[in-house]
Structure formats: C-alpha cells, structure tokens
C-alpha cells in the first residue's frame, strides 16, 4: 500500500491544485480533496468519513492544507492518525479573524448577535454562530506539522502565528514579503523548496 498525501485547498481553490504537489512527493500518491464545507461543523461531517476511508486503505496519510482548509483540517482530523501536516498560510485563530473583520466593518457584538448574520460589504459574511463556535472550540492540534507563512499575510498576524506555532510545537517558516496567497513564480519556488526541506 502506497503512502498518500491529501491536498486540502483554501477558499476559492480546487482539488485540481493537488497536481502541483505530485512531483514533490514522488513516493506517494497525491489526491486533492474536493470538499464543499463552509464551516468547521460541516467540515467535521464531510472530512471524517472521507479520511476514515483513506486511513483504512493506506499505510500513512499526510496532508497539505491551505488557509481555511488547514483550519477545517485541525477541527475535523485531530486524533485520526494523520502522520504529518504541511500548512500553507493556515487560519489558526478564527475568533481573532472574525473579531478583526467585525472591527473593520464597524459591527458590534450586540448587533451581530441580534442579526445573526451580516454582510461586510466586501463579499464576506459575519456570523454570530460562527463566532460562538470559534470561541467554544479552540484548536488543539498535536500532529507533527510544518507551517509556511507569508510576512505580509493580511488574515493572520505574525504574533498569532507565532503563538500557535509555540503552543502546538510546530516548525514555522516565514517568507519575506510573502502574502497569504502563495501564487507568484517566486512564491511557488519558495513553497516548493520549503516542502522539499521538510519531506
């Protein structure tokens, strides 16, 4: 049974992005996970059966996850026997991110609680249920993990990513001038070199 690497895309991404990672994991099959979940509670329902099936049929399972995909993975897959994780620009503190979005949109907690959901005007929706869930379900992640973070990430602060890295005892690599979305040729070269250095 061959080892498998499962790629978990971020918002607006797709399972097809997994093809980029196949040459970097030559001894493993690489599979893109085409999930539909938009919340951590939906992710648990969708991720768990998918990974249970894979874990039954493979010697070891590694994940490569991007942004919100990493956040969903940490909520859904803890304790499932994942061997290793590579996180690219992971969302590691959803509570802080939602509170930051509320501040930018000038939305108070009382207003969000009363309305339930609010459009920020920038295409993002604020949800009282999501904020409460994030507060009540802090991440507890113990899988051996390597994180790649862009210095100019506009969703997660350097302080927040360092706090998580120390708490979860994971490696943290920072790309100078890197962004949340790794997509330029230079950024992808850096990402590939990072993956090779830890695989």
Q: What tens digit of pLDDT does each residue of 69-105 get?
A: 999 999 999 999 999 999 999 999 999 999 999 999 9
Question: Is the domain of 81 the same as that of 110?
Answer: no
Q: Tell me the whole-structure pTM to 2 decimals.
A: 0.96
**100 is in which domain, residue-wise?**
94-138
Is 35 found in the same domain as 83? yes
Say if residue 20 is in the same domain as residue 51.
yes
Residues 19 and 82 grouped into a single domain: yes
Note the pLDDT of residue 126: 97
Percent residues over pLDDT 70 in the chain: 100
Q: In this structure, what CATH number is given to the domain that contains residue 162? A: 3.40.50.1820
pLDDT of residue 122: 77
pLDDT at 1 > cutoff 80 = no
Same domain for 82 and 122, yes or no, is: no
Asked if residue 75 and residue 127 are part of one domain, the reply reads no
Same-domain status, 56 and 146: yes
Tell me what the mean pLDDT of segment 172-184 comes to: 98
Residue 41 sits in the same domain as residue 57: yes
Tell whether 40 and 77 lie within a shared domain.
yes
Domain shared by 31 and 63, yes or no: yes
Q: Is residue 120 domain-shared with residue 100, that is, in the same domain?
A: yes
Higher per-residue pLDDT: 122 or 178: 178
Reported as a pLDDT band with limits 50, 70 and 90, residue 121 is confident
Domains in the chain, number: 2
Average pLDDT over residues 43-64: 97
**What is the spatial distance between Cα 62 and Cα 82, in angstroms, rounded to a whole number?**
6
């Amino acid at each position: 049974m061959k080892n498998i690497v499962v790629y978990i895309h971020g918002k607006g991404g797709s399972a097809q992005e997994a093809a980029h990672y196949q040459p970097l994991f030559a001894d493993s099959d690489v599979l893109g996970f085409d999930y539909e979940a938009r919340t951590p509670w939906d992710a648990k329902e969708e991720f768990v059966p998918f990974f249970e099936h894979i874990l039954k049929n493979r010697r070891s399972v590694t994940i490569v996850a991007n942004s919100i995909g990493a956040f969903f993975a940490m909520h859904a897959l803890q304790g499932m026997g994942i061997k290793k994780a590579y996180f690219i620009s992971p969302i590691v503190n959803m509570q802080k991110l939602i509170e930051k979005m509320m501040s930018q949109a000038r939305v108070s907690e009382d207003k969000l609680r009363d309305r339930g959901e609010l459009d920020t005007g920038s295409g993002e929706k604020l949800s009282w249920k999501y904020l409460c869930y994030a507060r009540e379900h802090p991440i507890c992640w113990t899988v051996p993990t390597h994180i790649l973070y862009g210095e100019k990430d506009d969703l997660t602060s350097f302080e927040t990513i360092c706090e998580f890295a120390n708490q979860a005892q994971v490696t943290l690599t920072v790309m100078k001038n890197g962004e949340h979305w790794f997509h330029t040729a230079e950024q992808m070269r850096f990402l590939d070199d990072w993956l090779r250095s830890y695989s």
